[in-house]
């Protein structure tokens, strides 16, 4: 039997607000346990939540970016369950009246564009963290994360392969960072993903029973977990069993999913509207303001890069995946006096390689867009060769100097002076007549020897085009 | 001294007849002397109170401050007070000291009032007789064999016995008004959203409202004035300027229309009480008010609607008491489940458990629509009835409770009969309106209260009517036998 995979995703994006969704405590990552939890976050008796307006604005911004309906009234509800890292015994979340309604997002897989429906997105507070290690049979509770604002983004079951699911997650990941509403850090848990997977025989209308896989904190894990889960479900059905609706946990170490809890064990959350919070009202003036504040979105930027800079679809995609990289690229193009293609190569090539190697984000790049643009300008006007430019980039990495200053200081300027080069060639030929003879006898590859020798003598500074031209004509004399 | 009005007390402080320290000591002595029987005050703030009184004396000496500067008062133990235990009448919070102070308490402190201590209450404000407190029941000073009402019974009994000129209360279904009626004092619950709920331990968030309990409408007005106002820490508090509650107290009520809901004057109402309330209405009529019969057609649904909505909210509000971060934790829990079960099982009393269970039930899957959703619909109908009524009348009058103070233990085993003692007051909370109780006579030597209900944010008019009534009568000045004497210092 041929099987079709059906995938839907729930993504929790931590909103990049300074303070928590219902209190003034900081949301900064990595503080000492329980130092960023105020009386409200601790659920102390008598304390009350006050909604962080910035979280609302971020949610609206997201909704507008995916062309979604923004609810004029949305309502916070209490989701009741007991857990030690849930201080109030309920999570304040939006239930039947979410702030963002139906929207959509286009993905590209294998050269084809597909539209994925976004069912809804709603605001909620995060819980704290239970720390099971280091406490010898006890559990430590860190409530720093409790009350951190989240936007839960729920997709339609529109994806049919792991590749589509990953493309969708990457698209969303890019989008939320573009909008400046989430820092996108999967490692720190700012962007978390739960995947609903089911299989059905090709041609069948009805969906199969789904399993929800939690704890996927990298694109690679998402892909692997889906692949494994699909295989597992098909195995279960093929061996005469039935897939049960359950929550499964992906174990990256063992590369497998295992059952966490089945539907029968699921809680009755007893949702009801939170009486401590008023309905969230979105005025048309706020909508207008948020619409005006939307940045150029990734799809539009990609298209513009192709048109404005004459870049390929692939290059445009790579350069626009991160807003910071796109901004860097455009700045560098400006400083290079418009060397769009060359700058693209350098940003995607040498610069990205260096950033990866040092594990530095492009926003913190030691080489600014201005300095990279200055470097590319010198390649374009043939002051230096590409090879020398790599040396210059390395020097720039550990200094504050501009390309021009470094070229000057290190004497890296390319030798394009025909007279000087001719003199050196004449000398070299005189010293190596054997090789000259060989060349003239038809062994044209021998030109490499001369290029190599001259480059050695000039420490790579000879203008390669010029050198080649001169050598060709002299050797043939 | 104990029966002086706030204005008189304030004048005495300014005239140097007495200092705030002396006044505080005077009432602290009354508490020590009389409260053994009553059990109305469960935590004393004596030391801190005297130093605050000293500060107040300095302010007064420099000619500053206002009517509340240097005036002693008590707070219901539901209001969090930084550095002083806040128990909410529960074993669960017997060890709880909040690191913050409730906004309403804070405002009174800023106005110069001196907190002498915290008053007993039904556990988590759940009760109408003050018999559910972990600290033992409170007795009614008019008859120690009867209950003071609840849940602000400690505050009511203390003010009635003149242990303090003022006390704060909270009212979720009648918890200020019913004990005020049972103890013969004046109590006002303002419009929902008028007094901040921040730092006031929640029972049912959409119904809870703090208010003032005092000897007279004028004193209550002074206290409520200081407690009221928008608080950015409470999203449900209303950003609307507070009216001057004192300016219009002296206005004539001539021409005002007072509505009598026919649903509140049926044979269910004790005939003697009815007679007292009707006499009070006659007195207002003689002062020029128009009396009009009105109807609140859905008001008889208020008790069932309330006992769905309030437990539902309480079931979630009390989930935070899990033994993890504060409050009671059981001895050496085996595991997480054991920690939850025993901490909560030991920490909460029966009435609280009963309401948590009702609440969890009405919110559970499959029952939500039939109970919670339906109750909210009924709530809207009840509110609409009041909105219609206030198109025709300025103030609504009724009895505050269907009976006078009942005997201790009488209704303890019969929750439904207990719940029905709030039958006249609950609708006001469901609608979010301001309501008050004013003493209007005695039946069998037990005080009777008249309830007055006002339109939204018309606390000033409500207090004006009550004050004018108290100009015509002196029921509010009566002091229970035995408490007229001075405490032997």
Write down the ipTM of this complex: 0.96
Find the domain containing B14 and state its range.
6-256+456-477
**pLDDT of amino acid B200:** 98
Q: What is the dihedral of CA B423, B428, B431, B433, to 10 degrees?
A: 180
pLDDT tens digits, residue range B283-332? Answer: 999 999 999 999 999 999 999 999 999 999 999 999 999 999 999 999 99
Rounded-to-integer distance, Cα B229 and Cα B241, Å: 7
Task: Point out the domain boundary residue: A256, A287, A318.
Answer: A287
Of A42, A46, A268, the CB nearest to B365: A268
Distance from CA of A94 to the nearest CA of B (A): 16
**pLDDT of amino acid A263:** 62
Q: Best interface-test mutation with A: which of B168, B325, B357 has the largest number of A CBs within 10 A?
A: B325
Asked if A117 and A178 sit in the same domain, the reply is yes
Find the domain containing A429 and state its range.
418-476
**pLDDT of amino acid A265:** 62
Distance from CA of B368 to the nearest CA of A (A): 8
Interchain contact, B80 vs A90, CB within 8 Å:
no
Task: Point out the domain boundary residue: A388, A410, A432.
Answer: A410
Task: Point out the domain boundary residue: A287, A313, A337.
Answer: A287
Q: Best interface-test mutation with A: which of B206, B230, B316 has the largest number of A CBs within 10 A?
A: B316
Write out chain A residues lying below 8 Å of B204, CB-based. 275
Interchain contact, A50 vs B102, CB within 8 Å:
no
CB pairs A-B closer than 8 Å: 109
Asked if residues B455 and B486 have their Cβ atoms less than 8 Å apart, the reply is no
Task: Compare all CA atoms of chain B with the CA of A272 and give the residue at the minimum distance.
Answer: B363
- Which residues does residue B291 pair with via DSSP β-bridges, in sequence order? B258
- Decide if B446 is inside a domain: no
- Decide if B240 is inside a domain: yes
Asked if A239 and A387 sit in the same domain, the reply is no
Place of tokens 């960072």: A177
Interchain contact, B320 vs A89, CB within 8 Å:
yes
Q: Best interface-test mutation with B: which of A48, A96, A129 has the largest number of B CBs within 10 A?
A: A48
Stated as kind and residue range, the H or E segment containing B188 is: strand B186-189
Interchain contact, A46 vs B198, CB within 8 Å:
yes
Asked if residues A329 and A337 have their Cβ atoms less than 8 Å apart, the reply is no
Q: How many CB atoms lie within 10 A of CB B144?
A: 13
Characterize B319-334 residue by residue with b for buried, 16 or more Cβ atoms within 10 angstroms of its Cβ, and e for exposed: bbbbbbbbbbbbeeee
**pLDDT of amino acid A44:** 97
Interchain contact, B325 vs A272, CB within 8 Å:
no
pLDDT tens digits, residue range A237-247? Answer: 999 999 999 99
**pLDDT of amino acid B166:** 98
Q: How many CB atoms lie within 10 A of CB A284?
A: 8
Within 13 Å of residue A429, how many CA atoms lie on the same side as its CB? 20
Q: Checking phi first, is residue B209 left (phi over 0); if not, alpha (psi -120 to 50) or beta? A: beta
Task: Compare all CA atoms of chain A with the CA of B371 and give the residue at the minimum distance.
Answer: A272
Characterize B337-370 residue by residue with b for buried, 16 or more Cβ atoms within 10 angstroms of its Cβ, and e for exposed: eebbebbbeebbbebbbebbebbbbbbbeebbee
Residue A435's pLDDT band (cuts 50, 70, 90): confident
Q: Checking phi first, is residue A203 left (phi over 0); if not, alpha (psi -120 to 50) or beta? A: left
Asked if residues B435 and B261 have their Cβ atoms less than 8 Å apart, the reply is no
Stated as kind and residue range, the H or E segment containing A473 is: helix A464-476
Asked if A427 and A378 sit in the same domain, the reply is no
* Cα A321–chain centre separation: 6
**pLDDT of amino acid B451:** 98
Task: Compare all CA atoms of chain A with the CA of B200 and give the residue at the minimum distance.
Answer: A46
Task: Compare all CA atoms of chain A with the CA of B81 and give the residue at the minimum distance.
Answer: A46
Of B235, B321, B325, the CB nearest to A42: B325
Rounded-to-integer distance, Cα B482 and Cα B325, Å: 45
Write out chain B residues lying below 8 Å of A89, CB-based. 316, 318-320, 322
DSSP letter string, B143-159: BTTB---SSTHHHHHHH
Stretch A21-31: mean pLDDT, rounded? 94
Write out chain B residues lying below 8 Å of A275, CB-based. 204-206, 236, 313
Write out chain B residues lying below 8 Å of A48, CB-based. 197-198, 233-236
Asked if residues A100 and A120 have their Cβ atoms less than 8 Å apart, the reply is yes
Secondary structure (3-state) at A456:
helix
Q: Provide the mean pLDDT of chain A.
A: 92
Number of compact structural domains in chain B: 1
Rounded-to-integer distance, Cα B57 and Cα B49, Å: 12
Statement: residue B269 has pLDDT above 80: yes
Residue A473's pLDDT band (cuts 50, 70, 90): confident
- Decide if B353 is inside a domain: no
Interchain contact, B232 vs A50, CB within 8 Å:
yes
Secondary structure (3-state) at A29:
coil
> Six-digit token pair at B426?
């609950």
Residues of B with catalytic roles: 76, 151, 175
Interface of A with B (CB under 8 A): 39, 42-51, 78, 80, 82, 84, 87-90, 139, 141, 268, 270-272, 275-278
Asked if residues B397 and B450 have their Cβ atoms less than 8 Å apart, the reply is yes
Stretch B480-489: mean pLDDT, rounded? 85
Rounded-to-integer distance, Cα A9 and Cα A216, Å: 11
Residue B360's pLDDT band (cuts 50, 70, 90): very high
Interchain contact, B235 vs A276, CB within 8 Å:
yes
Interchain contact, A275 vs B201, CB within 8 Å:
no
Rounded-to-integer distance, Cα A358 and Cα A348, Å: 15
Statement: residue A311 has pLDDT above 80: yes
Distance from CA of B478 to the nearest CA of A (A): 35
pLDDT tens digits, residue range A252-301? Answer: 888 888 888 766 566 799 999 999 999 999 999 999 999 999 999 999 99
Of B57, B170, B173, B190, nearest to B118 (Cα)?
A: B170
Number of compact structural domains in chain A: 3
Distance from CA of A275 to the nearest CA of B (A): 5
Asked if A274 and A323 sit in the same domain, the reply is no
> Six-digit token pair at B37?
């029987």
Asked if residues B404 and B239 have their Cβ atoms less than 8 Å apart, the reply is no
Asked if residues B408 and B139 have their Cβ atoms less than 8 Å apart, the reply is yes
Distance from CA of B459 to the nearest CA of A (A): 23
CATH number of residue B122's parent domain: 3.90.1300.10
Stretch B442-446: mean pLDDT, rounded? 97
In three-state form (DSSP H/G/I as H, E/B as E, the rest C), the secondary structure along A269-335 is: CCCEECCCCCCEECCHHHHHHHHHHCCCCHHHHHHHHHHHHCCCHHHHHHHHCCHHHHHHHHHHHHH
CATH number of residue A428's parent domain: 1.10.10.410
Asked if A329 and A366 sit in the same domain, the reply is yes
In three-state form (DSSP H/G/I as H, E/B as E, the rest C), the secondary structure along A183-225 is: CCCCCCCCEEEEEEEEEEECCCCCCCCCEEEEEECCHHHHHHH
Stretch B190-212: mean pLDDT, rounded? 98
Q: Which residue has the higher pLDDT, A247 or B229?
A: B229
Interchain contact, B80 vs A50, CB within 8 Å:
no
Distance from CA of A126 to the nearest CA of B (A): 16
Distance from CA of B315 to the nearest CA of A (A): 9
Calculate the alpha carbon distances from B303 to B191, B266, B420, B424 in Å.
19, 16, 7, 9
The angle subtended at Cα A338 by Cα A337 and Cα A339, nearest 5°, is 105
Q: What is the dihedral of CA B247, B253, B259, B264, to 10 degrees?
A: 80
- Decide if B17 is inside a domain: yes
**pLDDT of amino acid A133:** 78
Stretch A365-388: mean pLDDT, rounded? 91
Asked if residues A299 and A106 have their Cβ atoms less than 8 Å apart, the reply is yes
Secondary structure (3-state) at A83:
coil
Asked if A169 and A314 sit in the same domain, the reply is no
Q: Taking the CA atoms of chain B, what radius of gyration do you get in angstroms? A: 21
Write out chain A residues lying below 8 Å of B93, CB-based. 45
> Six-digit token pair at A351?
């610069």
Of A49, A78, A84, the CB nearest to B324: A84
Q: Provide the mean pLDDT of chain B.
A: 96
Asked if A131 and A176 sit in the same domain, the reply is yes
**pLDDT of amino acid A384:** 86
Asked if A30 and A146 sit in the same domain, the reply is yes
For residue B388, report the phi and psi dihedrals to the nearest 5 degrees: -65, -45
> Six-digit token pair at A56?
């609302």
Asked if A282 and A323 sit in the same domain, the reply is no
Write out chain A residues lying below 8 Å of B340, CB-based. 82
For residue B368, report the phi and psi dihedrals to the nearest 5 degrees: -50, -50
Of A419, A427, A472, A433, nearest to A454 (Cα)?
A: A427
pLDDT tens digits, residue range B52-90? Answer: 999 999 999 999 999 999 999 999 999 999 999 999 999
Interchain contact, A45 vs B93, CB within 8 Å:
yes
> Six-digit token pair at A102?
């139906």
- Decide if B472 is inside a domain: yes
Write out chain A residues lying below 8 Å of B321, CB-based. 45
**pLDDT of amino acid B488:** 64
Of B455, B442, B359, nearest to B404 (Cα)?
A: B442
Of A46, A82, A275, the CB nearest to B201: A46
Burial class (CB in 10 A: 0-12, 13-18, 19+), A336: buried
Write out chain B residues lying below 8 Å of A51, CB-based. 235
Rounded-to-integer distance, Cα A106 and Cα A111, Å: 12
Stated as kind and residue range, the H or E segment containing B182 is: helix B177-183
Rounded-to-integer distance, Cα B95 and Cα B423, Å: 34
- Decide if B316 is inside a domain: no
Within 13 Å of residue A365, how many CA atoms lie on the same side as its CB? 25
- Decide if B434 is inside a domain: no
Asked if residues B178 and B424 have their Cβ atoms less than 8 Å apart, the reply is no
- Decide if B386 is inside a domain: no
Rounded-to-integer distance, Cα B270 and Cα B403, Å: 6
Secondary structure (3-state) at A385:
coil
**pLDDT of amino acid A266:** 65
Stretch B133-153: mean pLDDT, rounded? 97
Interface of B with A (CB under 8 A): 79-80, 86, 88, 93, 96, 98-100, 102, 197-202, 204-206, 232-236, 312-313, 315-316, 318-322, 324-327, 336, 340, 360, 363-365, 368, 372
Task: Compare all CA atoms of chain A with the CA of B310 and give the residue at the minimum distance.
Answer: A275
Statement: residue A418 has pLDDT above 90: no
Asked if A458 and A357 sit in the same domain, the reply is no
Asked if residues B102 and B200 have their Cβ atoms less than 8 Å apart, the reply is yes
Q: Best interface-test mutation with B: which of A45, A144, A278 has the largest number of B CBs within 10 A?
A: A45
Interchain contact, A275 vs B313, CB within 8 Å:
yes
Distance from CA of A89 to the nearest CA of B (A): 5
Write out chain B residues lying below 8 Å of A277, CB-based. 235-236
> Six-digit token pair at B303?
């008790």
DSSP letter string, A106-173: EEEETTEEEEEEEEEEEEEE---EEE-TTSTTS-EEE-SSTT-EEEEEEE-S-B-SHHHHHHHHHHHH
Distance from CA of A133 to the nearest CA of B (A): 16
How would you classify the pairing of strands A246-251 and A211-216? parallel
Stretch A413-435: mean pLDDT, rounded? 82
Of A180, A184, A242, A248, nearest to A213 (Cα)?
A: A248
Q: Which residues contact B346 (CB under 8 A, 6 or more apart)?
A: B91, B328, B330
Interchain contact, B102 vs A46, CB within 8 Å:
yes
Asked if A180 and A325 sit in the same domain, the reply is no
DSSP state of A263: G
Asked if A426 and A374 sit in the same domain, the reply is no
Interchain contact, A272 vs B201, CB within 8 Å:
no
> Six-digit token pair at B387?
């909105």
């Amino acid at each position: 039997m041929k099987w079709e995979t059906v995938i839907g995703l729930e993504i929790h994006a931590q909103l990049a607000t300074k303070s928590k969704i219902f209190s003034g405590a900081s949301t900064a990552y990595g503080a000492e346990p329980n130092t960023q939890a105020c009386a409200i976050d601790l659920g102390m008796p008598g304390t009350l939540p006050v909604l962080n307006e910035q979280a609302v604005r971020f949610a609206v911004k997201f909704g507008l970016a995916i062309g979604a309906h923004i609810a004029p009234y949305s309502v916070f509800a209490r989701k009741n369950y007991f857990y030690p890292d849930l201080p109030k015994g309920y999570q304040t979340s939006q239930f039947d009246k979410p702030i963002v309604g139906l929207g959509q997002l286009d993905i590209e897989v294998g050269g084809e564009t597909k539209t994925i429906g976004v069912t809804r997105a709603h605001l909620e507070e995060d819980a704290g963290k239970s720390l099971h290690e280091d406490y010898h049979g006890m559990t430590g509770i860190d409530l720093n994360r409790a009350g951190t604002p989240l936007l839960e983004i729920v997709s339609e079951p529109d994806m049919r392969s792991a590749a589509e699911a990953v493309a969708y997650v990457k698209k969303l990941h890019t989008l939320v960072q573009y909008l400046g509403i989430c820092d996108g850090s999967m490692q720190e848990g700012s962007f978390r993903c739960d995947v609903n997977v089911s299989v059905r025989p090709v041609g069948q209308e009805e969906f199969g029973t789904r399993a929800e896989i939690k704890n996927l904190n990298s694109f690679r894990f998402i892909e692997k977990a889906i692949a494994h889960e699909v295989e597992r479900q098909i195995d279960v059905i093929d061996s005469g069993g039935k897939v049960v609706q359950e929550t499964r946990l992906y174990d990256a170490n063992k590369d497998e999913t295992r059952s966490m809890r089945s539907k029968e064990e699921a809680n009755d959350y007893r949702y009801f509207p939170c009486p401590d919070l008023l309905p969230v009202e979105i005025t048309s003036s706020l909508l207008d303001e948020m619409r005006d504040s939307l940045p150029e979105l990734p799809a539009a930027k990609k298209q513009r890069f192709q048109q404005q800079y004459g870049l390929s679809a692939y290059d445009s995609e790579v350069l626009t995946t991160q807003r910071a990289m796109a901004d860097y690229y455009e700045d560098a193009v400006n400083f290079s006096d418009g060397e769009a293609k060359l700058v693209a190569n350098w940003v995607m090539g040498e610069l990205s390689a260096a950033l990866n190697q040092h594990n530095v984000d492009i926003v913190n790049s030691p080489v600014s867009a201005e300095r990279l643009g200055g470097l590319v300008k010198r390649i374009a006007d043939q002051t230096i060769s590409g090879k020398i430019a790599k040396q210059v980039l390395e020097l720039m990495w550990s200094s504050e100097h501009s390309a021009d200053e470094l070229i000057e200081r290190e004497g890296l300027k390319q030798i394009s002076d025909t007279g000087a080069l001719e003199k050196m060639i004449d000398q070299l030929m005189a010293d190596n007549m054997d090789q000259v003879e060989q060349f003239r006898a038809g062994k044209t590859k021998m030109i490499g020897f001369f290029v190599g020798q001259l480059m050695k003598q000039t420490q790579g500074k000879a203008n390669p085009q010029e050198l080649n031209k001169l050598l060709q004509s002299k050797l043939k004399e | 001294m104990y029966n002086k009005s706030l204005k008189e007390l304030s004048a005495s402080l300014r005239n140097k007849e007495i200092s705030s320290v002396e006044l505080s000591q005077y009432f602290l002595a009354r508490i020590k002397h009389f409260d053994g029987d009553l059990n109305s005050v469960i935590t004393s703030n004596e030391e801190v109170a005297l130093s605050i009184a000293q500060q107040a004396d300095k302010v007064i000496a420099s000619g500053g401050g206002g009517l509340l500067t240097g005036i002693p008062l008590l707070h219901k133990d539901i209001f969090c007070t930084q550095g002083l235990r806040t128990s909410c009448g529960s074993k669960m919070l017997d060890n709880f000291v909040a690191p913050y102070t409730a906004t309403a308490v804070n405002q009174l402190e800023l106005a110069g009032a001196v907190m002498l201590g915290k008053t007993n209450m039904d556990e988590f404000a759940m009760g109408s007789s003050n018999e559910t407190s972990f600290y033992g029941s409170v007795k009614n000073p008019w008859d120690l064999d009867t209950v003071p009402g609840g849940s602000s019974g400690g505050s009511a009994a203390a003010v009635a016995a003149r242990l303090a000129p003022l006390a704060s209360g909270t009212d979720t279904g009648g918890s200020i008004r019913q004990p005020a009626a049972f103890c013969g004092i004046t109590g006002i619950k303002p419009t929902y959203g008028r007094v901040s709920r921040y730092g006031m331990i929640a029972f049912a968030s959409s119904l809870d409202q703090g208010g003032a309990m005092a000897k007279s409408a004028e004193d209550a007005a002074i206290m409520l004035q200081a407690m009221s106002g928008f608080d950015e820490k409470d999203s449900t508090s209303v950003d609307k300027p507070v009216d001057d509650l004192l300016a219009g107290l002296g206005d004539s009520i001539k021409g005002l229309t007072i509505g009598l809901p026919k649903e509140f004057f049926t044979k269910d109402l004790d005939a003697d009480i009815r007679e007292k309330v009707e006499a009070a209405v006659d007195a207002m009529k003689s002062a020029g008010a128009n009396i009009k019969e009105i109807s609140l057609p859905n008001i008889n649904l208020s008790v069932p609607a309330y006992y769905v909505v309030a437990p539902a909210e309480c079931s979630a509000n009390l989930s935070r008491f899990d033994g993890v971060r504060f409050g009671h934790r059981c001895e050496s829990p085996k595991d997480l489940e054991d920690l939850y079960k025993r901490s909560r099982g030991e920490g909460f009393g029966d009435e609280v458990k009963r309401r948590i269970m009702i609440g969890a039930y009405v919110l559970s899957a499959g029952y939500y629509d039939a109970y919670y959703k339906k109750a909210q619909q009924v709530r809207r109908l009840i509110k609409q009835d009041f909105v219609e009524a206030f198109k025709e009348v300025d103030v609504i009058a009724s009895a505050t409770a269907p009976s006078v103070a009942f005997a201790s233990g009488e209704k303890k085993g019969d929750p439904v009969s207990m719940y029905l003692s709030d039958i006249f007051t609950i609708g006001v909370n469901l609608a979010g309106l301001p309501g008050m109780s004013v003493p209007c006579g005695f039946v069998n030597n037990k005080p009777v209260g008249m309830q007055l209900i006002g339109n939204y944010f018309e606390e000033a008019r409500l207090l004006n009517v009550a004050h004018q009534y108290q100009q015509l009568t002196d029921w509010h000045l009566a002091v229970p036998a035995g408490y007229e004497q001075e405490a032997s210092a």
